[in-house]
Amino acid sequence: MTYIEPAPLQQENPLESMMQRFDVAFKLLNISPEMYDILMVPRKQVVVGLPVTMDDGSVKVFEGIRVVHSTILGPSKGGIRFDMGVTMDEVKALAAWMTWKCAVVDIPYGGAKVVFAVILAKCQPEKSSG
């Protein structure tokens, strides 16, 4: 018997995982191909620079991300997340999940997510009042 080394575990891509689930739902719910194409791509992605005055008076610019997945059912909603390890794909997935959650319970909102990732990595809020 030959031992086969298993492939190394890779971190799951949240966007790919969400899209796999959406593909299943698309087939089960008989969603039109046009609507599928609309819902596959976020409506808007914004990357911003946020200037912050530090304790020593210097100004540093940190990055924030906002993804609006859909506004088909109404204005977008979604929380703010502070996370050092976030990726754009994760933000897109979280915004899409909010779209699905609102649609399933018939809340007239689309999905969005705001993330400030780099602020925590560089600013270290526990050590700063800025």
pLDDT tens for each residue of 84-93: 777 889 899 9
| CATH number, domain with residue 99 | 3.40.50.10860
Number of domains into which the chain is organized = 1
Determine, yes or no, domain membership for 6: no
- Give the pTM: 0.74
pLDDT in tens, 107-125: 999 999 988 755 545 555 5
Determine, yes or no, domain membership for 129: no
- Nearest-CA neighbor of 116 among 89, 81, 88, 91? 81
User: Are 63 and 97 contacting, i.e. CB atoms less than 8 angstroms apart?
Assistant: no
Determine, yes or no, domain membership for 97: yes
Determine, yes or no, domain membership for 120: yes
Let me know if 113 is a catalytic residue.
yes
Instruction: Domain of residue 110: give its range.
Output: 14-124
Catalytic residue among 60, 92, 101, 113: 113
pLDDT in tens, 37-60: 988 899 999 988 888 888 889 888
User: Are 52 and 119 contacting, i.e. CB atoms less than 8 angstroms apart?
Assistant: yes
Average pLDDT over the chain reads 82
Q: List the structure tokens of 93.
A: 């997935």
Determine, yes or no, domain membership for 20: yes
**What per-residue confidence (pLDDT) applies to 9?**
45
Q: How confident is the model at residue 80 (pLDDT cuts 50, 70, 90)?
A: confident
Give Cα separations from 85 to 32, 82, 113, 129, 130 (angstroms). 35, 9, 15, 23, 22
